[in-house]
Structure 1
Amino acid sequence: MAPTVSVLTAVFNPTRADLDACIASVRHQTLGEWQHVLVDDASTEPHVADALAAAAAADDRVVVIRRREQGGIVAASTDALAAATGEFVALLDHDDVIEPTALADMVTALTAGDGADLAYSDHDILRADGMFATPALKPDFSPEQLRNQNYILHFVVARRSVVEAAGGFRPGFDGAQDHDLLLRISERTDRIVHVPDVLYHWRQAATSVAADPSAKTWAYDAGVRAVQEHCDRVGIDAEVTAGRLPGTYRVRRRLAETPTVSVIIPTRGGSRRVLGVDHCFVAEAVRSMVETSSYPDLEFVVVYDTATPQPVLDYLRAIAGDRLVLTEYTKPFNFSEKINVGVEASSGELLLLLNDDTELITPDAVETMAALLTDPTVGMVGPKLLFPDGTVQDGGHVYHEHVLAGLVGWHGASPGPGQLRPLAVEREVSGVTAASAMLRRDVFDEIGGFDPVLYINFNDVDVSLKIRATGRRIVWTPFASWYHFESQTREASAEPEEWAEIDRRWHDEINADPYYNPRFAPRRTDWLERPWHSGAPALEEADADQGFGSWLLDRLGGTISGSSSSAWWRAPMLALALFVTSWALAAEVGAGPNPLRRIGVTGGAVLIWTLLLALAFHRRRWVLASAVLLAAAPAASGHLALAGREAVAWIGTVLVATLIGPVSRARPPVAWALAGAVTLVDAGVWWLAADDRAGSGDGALAFVRDAPAVFGAGDGGWALASVGVWWAALVVLVAVWIMGRHASLVIAVVAALAVLTVVAWWIADQQGSSAADVGFVLLAGVLVAAAARFDHEAAGGPIAVTAASVALGVAWSASLLEFADGRWWAGAAAVVTLAGSIRVTVGLVGRSSAD
């Protein structure tokens, strides 16, 4: 029998609808062994007591406690904990909701293997319009990050015995009671597991932190005290202050001593122009440290190639004086060996590995990194590295099906994407670049230094993973930074033998980064989720300190360059560019019956549509809507020239289908009116278009069979194949909706099919035409738009969207082939359609390794 989970909920004046939704989300759990303890903290709204009484009467697993006077969330949570009887306790706010499998998934994680004491999941924001937004896809347990911010937040399930042993909820920490409790539990156990699924939906109420991070500043004050007391308890000599952003903290560790730091710089004395200025890299690297660093005891060990110009060495002697140690390297280039030679020639207790193409930015960078290394559990520290233009060159290594530098291209002052704001806090990472990294000499000696076999690339990856293999942590800090003129002195390239060697040594580690998240897109480092894994946008624009003009220029530049900070903007921008091009092509079609031009327009519409689907499904839903409409426009314009007035109906139908979801939530009567209006418009357009079409066959069965072929008579191998694929895709789509319990969608699609079939068949019978075929083009658009409305709770969402996309692609391809002349054009069309379908499938479903 599964263990019981007691869900603890402090209640104070939520709306009736929100409270009912919260209670219902627990009642509908797939895990049957639960107890829901709701403590009414003397709510003043009468509907609260009614809702709680109704919940208790409906299920005896619901326990309701009413406090006589309001005591705050800590007092209410303490009462809930005292009434809990389950082996585990879960924390749930009174207006939030959890997934149906949330408790079962958490219990599975807690009881697997040797068991764990605490589990937490990913979460997202539940907006006022009912849509999910901004998923917080979290790392595995990261104690340094937990000190800098409560990144765990929701959803937490822990052993009741551990919570009670840690002291439960402490008075005086209202607003930060969860963070305080998590810190105290982390002091008692490291058996903390992360469930990488969005199991919790944090409602964006008007007065909540989810809606406005500055709404409860007193909560952050309590958070500062919680982190300060945690540091005092565990022996971290630090001053804790509020961070630059609400909900973040700065743990400024103190250095009781200032041991010698040996700065190891391999060089060949190279020079190059950077931002219009001649740079001798090693000279500028040492000069910036001498003139900018406030650290009192630095030793500069420069390992120089024999070919290094003598004036460079003379300049180094002049600027560094007796703190300079020059070591000649006479062998062929080997970065790893040069580092080892430099360490052997050094005398410092701490080693700062530094590329010669760097320039110090923050004066106290060395102190900040050295202070982190006073913790014996920390093996290496890396700073924030910036390109000369101020954008991020490295935010810590990411090993996610590849070896990557994190957050490349983000502005240096940006906190980074999403709720976790990874550029704003100190946090654990799997590795840091040797372009700038600090470690203790004893750790360097223990791991055997750098391996000369990895002579150019991946040597820092190898060192990072060897340090982690000793059980030590690697920490990245944004409070120490350098400029890094990456690959200015040597060409950046990876030798095949280096790839093979790093994969042989660390295959598992470079394919599963515990400090990233398996739900993030592979081979990316910008915290973008895999398509359709949560169904919510991964990025939020937060450049409040940037003027609109510079913001727009950044976005346009990012669209062209592929900057990750502009990823969500790229889809509509690309759609707009393709729209203009396709519109011009469509205008050419009207000049004459040129089949090549017609093929170009129609084929372009297919390709544009599939690519835009693959791009837009990654992003915000309003981006999806705009991309769909912009992509539909060139397709409509092309068919306006090729097929007539029905293209107008295409635009109207896709517009309504895309917007009907949010409209139905806010104004259901308006949604019904829109749906009815577009149906009437479509019927009228079909009637007008019918008189110049050939008949599509006798009888209803032939009509239904042939209609998806679109503009064709339904004969021939390809046309029959397109019919089969179209109907198969529709069956898959409806089956997924049925399994996901989306009865309204199933009813809507089946009803739409019936109406389309009956009305179009009647028109065909009256007009003697195949106007119904036009209707199926429109239906394909409706299916794709409806599938795109899926939220992440829909099981099999990627399959449904892919099926709808394939249906649309096949419909368009049949139209394309109607104008194709010869087998070569048919083959080309088949390749285009297949490529588009594969691209959509890969883009939407993602790799199987994510599951």
Structure 2
Amino acid sequence: MSEKSGSEGRIQWSRFFKKLSPYMIQKGLLYLRHYGLKEFWIRLHERFEPEEIPYGPWYEAYAPDQTVLDKQRKKKFVYAPLISVVVPAYRTPQLFLKQMIDSLIAQTYENWELCIANGSPEEESMRKTLEEYSSKDSRIRWMDLNENKGIAENTNAAFSMAKGEFVGLLDHDDLLSPNTLYEIVNALNEHEQADAVYTDEDKVTAELDEHFQPHLKPDFNIDLLRSNNYICHFFVVRRQLVEEVGGFRREFDGAQDYDFIFRCVEKAREVVHVPEILYHWRTHKASTADNPASKMYAFEAGRRAIEAHLERTGVKGTVSHTADLGFYRVKYPVQGHPLVSIIIPNKDEKETLENCLESIRKNTLYDNYEIIIVENNSTTDEIFEYYKKISADPRIHLICWKKEFNYSAINNFGVKNARGEYLLFLNNDVTVITEDWLGEMLGVCQRREVGAVGVKLLYPDNTIQHAGCVVGIGGIAGHMFVDMPAERTGYLHKASILQDMSAVTAACMMMKRSAFDKAGGFTEQLAVAFNDVDLCLKAGKAGYLVVYDPYVKLYHMESKTRGAEDDDAKIRRFQREIEYMRSNWIGILKNGDPNYNKNLSLTKWNYSLRPIPGMSGKNDEKD
């Protein structure tokens, strides 16, 4: 990314003043008290930075028109299950209740039932509305509860009403798009093993006059789920599974859906993501969608939900809150004392290598490691004198690569000479910032399902160089959040939370040796470009997760040491590597990165919206 305009952040004051109200001022003061002035200012920039593509007009172009909806109504599915939409209702404003029910009546898929558990039977306006709608449409059913038992027990009462094969969770003041259930059933027809389905969502104002803050999600991502309840709305699950896991648990009130989702996905044969914005979360004074800082009990319940999930799945980890409430960190302890082999290719660059090794020495608390320097055709006397100096360190081993430069072959050669159970590929032009960086990476990498771990890399000016890779960005693959100030957390805090990615850079990447071997090592046809992306994709194909861990930070001097692709031979080599990736990974390039979202840009690095063809004044992106 050559420009910083997409990531550096500035306040769009017109949006700020449009949102300003006494309630918003009160909310802002709560946030200021919680975060402090510096962190509050950073978050204010992130919340009100200019949208490269404004979401309001984008959503208008995105939403299906009447022609599409009419076509959906005529669709005859091979598999057409009854979907029970369950709603725990409590003192729901009459207008909100009507609008919620109307959003069900407008569904293009008609085999549904609405099951409303009314926790406020004394509310006459609610009773009147429920009686009116249920008398006109037999699919709308409701029951009065003797008392308000809280969100968990009220939802369980609604669950008990459900007759459908699948059950969907809807809040009493929210809305579904008219095509929501159609898209869910379409996904169920394509995925016979699916036990759970979730969709993308956005927020709407109380008056429904503005859609904002779209949450465009990846496919199922266990590390992201342990960092935040990203699944949230709209969540549809097989009723048999609801009965098996036991519904909601009142001890997790405030995060009862988070706990429930964990228990469902732990047992689901397949969890399917529908990458369409099908749920609209209404924001108003009483809504958690718009007032997170006031509900600390809910965030504490979320932390306990993650702990319970880890305990059920036999995973050791310590869960803590991050500065961004509702987002969590799981720290995985190192198990045992395995040897880690740090492999560093090097050519000349004595001072660069010295800085790298010194930062490792100062910041590495985990003590069982070796460093393998793969000497690659150096020519200066200075570097060979330095090699003699460091040879006294029993942890450092120097091996010599005497063929032409090939990053993949050099690292494969390093692995052959490594003794470690874990391999850490490291560029010579990085310096470690984080104390216990090695232990942090190792704790994540030791998990049975993890094959590779990457980290957050910063330029010397404290802007981001790498926060995970997305396949398809810039044509083949690209780093996320390039040039964004390091103190910022980015779209939905994705620069700063643990999550699974399709690839990470090998400038600092740890792999299990067994995963490296199963993936077949680095592809030596990729001498310079995309070899790390290719290796990560091979590891993913072999069944391993690739994890981005932002809690490890290093400086990367890439701009200093990387030469330009400016001569004919380099250009031809680069074109060959592009063709290799296109021919070998056409599936993910064509279908999209499962850890990204089809509605996000492939030309921007900051999770911007992808322009919709035909939007006025915008350049359409090409596939």
TM-score normalized with structure 2 length: 0.82
Which of 165, 174, 180 matches 2:253? Answer: 174
1:288 is matched with which residue? 359
Deviations 1:460-480 (A, max 9, x none): 111111111101110101111
User: Aligned equivalents of 2:261 and 2:529: distance in 1?
Assistant: 39
Are 1:30 and 2:108 an aligned pair?
Answer: yes
SS in 2 for 1:172: helix
1:4 is matched with which residue? 82
| Paired residue type of 1:520 | L
1:363 is matched with which residue? 435
1:525 is matched with which residue? 605
Between Structure 1 and Structure 2, the one with more strand by share is 2
Cα deviation for residue 225 of structure 1 reads 0.8
User: Aligned equivalents of 2:341 and 2:384: distance in 1?
Assistant: 18
Contact 1:26 1:98 in 2 (8 A): yes
Which of 164, 173, 177 matches 2:243? Answer: 164
Contact 2:476 2:581 in 1 (8 A): no
1:409 is matched with which residue? 483
Cα deviation for residue 370 of structure 1 reads 0.7
Cα deviation for residue 43 of structure 1 reads 6.0
Are 1:465 and 2:537 an aligned pair?
Answer: yes
Contact 1:402 1:523 in 2 (8 A): no
Which of 99, 103, 107 matches 2:181? Answer: 103
Contact 1:380 1:438 in 2 (8 A): yes
- What are the residue-to-residue correspondences of 1:426-437 with 2, within 5 Å? 426-437=498-509
SS in 1 for 2:583: helix
| Paired residue type of 2:188 | L
Which of 374, 383, 400 matches 1:328? Answer: 400
Cα deviation for residue 209 of structure 1 reads 2.4
Deviations 1:400-431 (A, max 9, x none): 243111121222222211xx321121111001
User: Aligned equivalents of 1:36 and 1:522: distance in 2?
Assistant: 39
Instruction: Report the number of matched residues.
Output: 533
Q: Which runs of 5+ in 2 are unaligned?
A: 1-78, 566-570
Between Structure 1 and Structure 2, the one with more helix by share is 1
1:662 is matched with which residue? none
SS in 1 for 2:214: strand
Contact 1:122 1:198 in 2 (8 A): yes
Which of 305, 310, 313 matches 1:231? Answer: 310
User: Aligned equivalents of 1:73 and 1:47: distance in 2?
Assistant: 21
| Paired residue type of 2:375 | Y
User: Aligned equivalents of 1:410 and 1:172: distance in 2?
Assistant: 40
Change (3 A) 1:145 1:308: farther
1:337 is matched with which residue? 409
1:154 is matched with which residue? 233
Change (3 A) 1:93 1:317: farther
Contact 1:146 1:152 in 2 (8 A): yes
SS in 2 for 1:321: coil
| Paired residue type of 1:306 | N
1:14 is matched with which residue? 92
User: Aligned equivalents of 2:150 and 2:513: distance in 1?
Assistant: 50
User: Aligned equivalents of 1:34 and 1:842: distance in 2?
Assistant: 40
Deviations 1:237-286 (A, max 9, x none): 11112222111111111112121111100011226xxxxxxxx2111111
Cα deviation for residue 316 of structure 1 reads 5.5
- What are the residue-to-residue correspondences of 1:441-520 with 2, within 5 Å? 441-493=513-565, 495-511=574-590, 512-520=592-600
User: Aligned equivalents of 2:269 and 2:284: distance in 1?
Assistant: 34
SS in 1 for 2:408: helix
1:629 is matched with which residue? none
- What are the residue-to-residue correspondences of 1:554-565 with 2, within 5 Å? none
SS in 2 for 1:50: helix
| Paired residue type of 1:307 | S
Cα deviation for residue 205 of structure 1 reads 1.4
Contact 1:352 1:438 in 2 (8 A): yes
Which of 141, 144, 154 matches 1:66? Answer: 144
- What are the residue-to-residue correspondences of 1:202-217 with 2, within 5 Å? 202-217=281-296
Contact 1:317 1:324 in 2 (8 A): no
1:189 is matched with which residue? 268
2:418 is matched with which residue? 346
Contact 1:431 1:461 in 2 (8 A): yes
Contact 1:169 1:181 in 2 (8 A): yes
| Paired residue type of 2:597 | N
Q: Which runs of 5+ in 1 are unaligned?
A: 272-279, 533-797, 803-839
1:673 is matched with which residue? none
- What are the residue-to-residue correspondences of 1:593-672 with 2, within 5 Å? none
Change (3 A) 1:7 1:230: same
1:141 is matched with which residue? 220
| Paired residue type of 2:603 | R
Change (3 A) 1:310 1:344: farther
Deviations 1:562-596 (A, max 9, x none): xxxxxxxxxxxxxxxxxxxxxxxxxxxxxxxxxxx
SS in 1 for 2:294: coil
User: Aligned equivalents of 2:176 and 2:462: distance in 1?
Assistant: 41
CA RMSD, aligned part only? Answer: 1.8
User: Aligned equivalents of 1:337 and 1:300: distance in 2?
Assistant: 18
1:222 is matched with which residue? 301
User: Aligned equivalents of 2:191 and 2:82: distance in 1?
Assistant: 19
Deviations 1:775-831 (A, max 9, x none): xxxxxxxxxxxxxxxxxxxxxxx65x54xxxxxxxxxxxxxxxxxxxxxxxxxxxxx
Contact 1:354 1:435 in 2 (8 A): yes
User: Radius of gyration: which is bigger?
Assistant: 1
| Paired residue type of 2:115 | V
Cα deviation for residue 308 of structure 1 reads 4.9
Are 1:302 and 2:344 an aligned pair?
Answer: no
Cα deviation for residue 310 of structure 1 reads 4.2
Cα deviation for residue 199 of structure 1 reads 0.3
TM-score normalized with structure 1 length: 0.61
Instruction: State the identity as a percent.
Output: 35
Cα deviation for residue 162 of structure 1 reads 1.4
Which of 244, 247, 259 matches 2:323? Answer: 244
User: Aligned equivalents of 2:497 and 2:157: distance in 1?
Assistant: 34
User: Aligned equivalents of 2:269 and 2:374: distance in 1?
Assistant: 42
Change (3 A) 1:422 1:190: farther
Contact 1:397 1:405 in 2 (8 A): yes
Are 1:123 and 2:182 an aligned pair?
Answer: no
User: Aligned equivalents of 1:132 and 1:92: distance in 2?
Assistant: 18
Cα deviation for residue 490 of structure 1 reads 2.8
Higher RCO, 1 vs 2 (CA within 8 Å, ≥6 residues apart): 2
Change (3 A) 1:235 1:256: same
Contact 2:515 2:544 in 1 (8 A): no
Cα deviation for residue 22 of structure 1 reads 0.8
SS in 2 for 1:428: strand
User: Aligned equivalents of 2:234 and 2:388: distance in 1?
Assistant: 57
